[in-house]
Amino acid sequence: MKLLFVSILVLMTFSLAFSQVVINEVLYDTPGTDTNCFTELKGPPGTNLAGYWLVGVNGNPGSSQGPYDSVALQGTIPASGYFVIAQTTNVPNYNQISTVVDWQNAAGASGGVGDNILLKYNGQIVDAVGYGPFSDPAALWMGEPANNRNASAPDPFDGSSISRVPDGFDSNNNAADFQITPITPGAPNPGGPPAPQNRTLLQLRNNNANGVPVDSGLYVRVSGVANVPSGLWNTGLLDISIQNDEAGVTLRGNSTVAVNIGDSITAQGYVSHYNGKTQIVGPYFQVTNHGPASVQYPPIQIPTGELRNDGESYEGMLIRFVNVTLGANNPWPAEGSSGNINIDDGTGIVTLRIEAGTDLDGWEQHPTAGQVIPQITGIAGQFDYTPPYFEYYQISPRSRMDFVTSSVSEPISYYGKVQGYDLKAAYPNPFNSSTEIRYTIPSGKRAEMAVFDLQGRFVRSLGEGLQETGTVHWDGLNDNGEAVSSGTYFIRLQNHEMLITQKVVYLP
């Protein structure tokens, strides 16, 4: 079992924040005497560069091997996202002048070994580029990845730049990230994304021994049905999950596309992961919404121990637990805060993740420690701090609609944004063979209807992906085709934004 400390988490958060600034383009060799050389950084606009340094490191074996020059950076990254340190004022779009950026020319036309450029923050390396050949085992390789000296960036020696393509993308592999390009200081690097590779959601689930997707760094196209609406987890980015009946994945990037639960989605982006959770991210993040899907995917009911032991099989999918006990390890998060609470149905502890910004943080009538919750629905995810990434799986409910916390007492009760929805009184009620339930759902919306007993336990699905106006019948059987006992039951019409419940009595 891994031991997690607050200090480690703080350090990780610190490192992630500053690794967003990268060396994006370098011109270090021009015909004849080197002139107008520059190094371009790319990062979040407004980033204060105090504490950042660029350091040249000689890779050539011998007494001069190692750091040979450095420059302290000054100023902030402008709105363009590019910061140019130039050798002279003749370089377009420069932000700082330093002759240091006439870096060593690596192998050059005459052969030799490569060299390195490091970006440091307060002494910590946050980016590194090794350029030129490092086949000589005595050459000092400090590029990325650290364990592969054959992954160096190219060495143009002809007045061209080496640039990240796609612009700003960092897969921690210099050979994959850098290409020889025309000179574009302070502007996007030429070239776009590679042709996307088609992947199924199930294929994206393939991980290596460390729990990292085997397709990491690959630009892919993938399709599925949304199980989270846009604007729920994150208002600044599109942060949703899509799934089919086999697998799911998180989409997270810059996009203004509006998404509702049940929409058919196609996305393009790079395969990545965050603390073990597979994601499709930018740059060149693209999402197409094809409208409501013809097929909907209901929650998969599993034990908590199944998620704990085989979470990779459910990541990004809508799952459901029944009769889980809420732990006492953490309090319910206050409004504006997120939180993690243990839950267990007796088969294994997993994390209930409550996200700030939903209607769950600050919920006054929230479940309490020790309470048995009849049903929780949510998105399966993961937040594992260290490799191998095969622990710390969690369920993230989308709203209070994903909870069944107790029985209701009114014949028909309404909760949430119910305008346009309607659940007519069942007829006959009581009934002894079959009862009819009519419903109305607004155009473009979808909902599910199901039967539960007095303890909140699931009995029978009456419909998934219901639309507009219709009628369903319940014949007193459960989902296994077995007759239920006489008594009181509840019909629930629900989706992520509303819940309507009515009481029916079965008298066989």
Which 3 state secondary structure label does DSSP give 225?
Answer: strand
Residue 16 has pLDDT above 50, yes or no: no
Mean pLDDT over residues 422-435, rounded? 89
Mean pLDDT over residues 309-337, rounded? 95
Residue 197 has pLDDT above 70, yes or no: yes
The answer to whether 348 and 333 are in contact (CB under 8 A) is no
Which of 163, 180, 183, 158 is closest to 32 using CA atoms? 158
Tens digits of per-residue pLDDT, 440-457?
998 888 889 999 888 778
For each of the domains in the chain, give its residue range(s) and CATH number, in order of start: 18-181 (2.60.40.1260), 197-292 (2.40.50.140), 300-404 (2.40.50.140), 412-506 (2.60.40.1930)
Q: Rounded to whole angstroms, how far apart are CA atoms 356 and 23?
A: 34
Residue 352 has pLDDT above 60, yes or no: yes
pLDDT averaged over every residue in the chain:
88
Q: Rounded to whole angstroms, how far apart are CA atoms 307 and 396?
A: 13
H or E element that contains 14: helix 6-18
Amino acid of residue 58 = N
Residue 413: what pLDDT? 60
Instruction: Looking at 179-297, list the stretches that DSSP marks H as alpha helix, in order from N- to C-terminal side.
Output: 201-204
Residue 158: what pLDDT? 65
Tens digits of per-residue pLDDT, 484-503?
999 889 999 988 777 888 88
The answer to whether 449 and 296 are in contact (CB under 8 A) is no
Beta strands (DSSP E) in 160-276 are 161-164, 178-181, 197-198, 219-226, 238-243, 248-253, 263-274
Residue 443: what pLDDT? 85
Tens digits of per-residue pLDDT, 224-267?
999 999 999 988 889 999 999 999 999 998 888 999 888 999 99
Which DSSP string corresponds to 385-444?
A: -SSS----EEEE--SGGGEE-S---SSEEEEES-TT-EEPPPBSSSBSS-EEEEEE--TT
Which of 76, 30, 361 is closest to 183 using CA atoms? 30
Which tokens belong to 441?
């759902």
Which tokens belong to 429?
């009620």
The answer to whether 164 and 141 are in contact (CB under 8 A) is no
Residue 109: what pLDDT? 47
Q: Is the pTM of this model over 0.85?
A: no
Residue 8 has pLDDT above 50, yes or no: no
Residue 57: what pLDDT? 96
CA angle 148, 133, 194 (to 5 degrees): 70
CA angle 195, 199, 203 (to 5 degrees): 145
What is the DSSP secondary structure assignment for residue 345, as one 8-state letter?
A: S
Q: Rounded to whole angstroms, how far apart are CA atoms 280 and 218?
A: 10
Residue 5: what pLDDT? 32
What is the DSSP secondary structure assignment for residue 62, as one 8-state letter?
A: S
The percent of residues in the chain predicted with pLDDT above 70, rounded, is 92
The alpha carbon of 186 is separated from its chain's Cα centroid by a whole number of angstroms, namely 29
Q: Rounded to whole angstroms, how far apart are CA atoms 483 and 488?
A: 14
Which of 480, 445, 440, 432 is closest to 460 using CA atoms? 480
Mean pLDDT over residues 284-305, rounded? 88
Residue 319 has pLDDT above 90, yes or no: yes
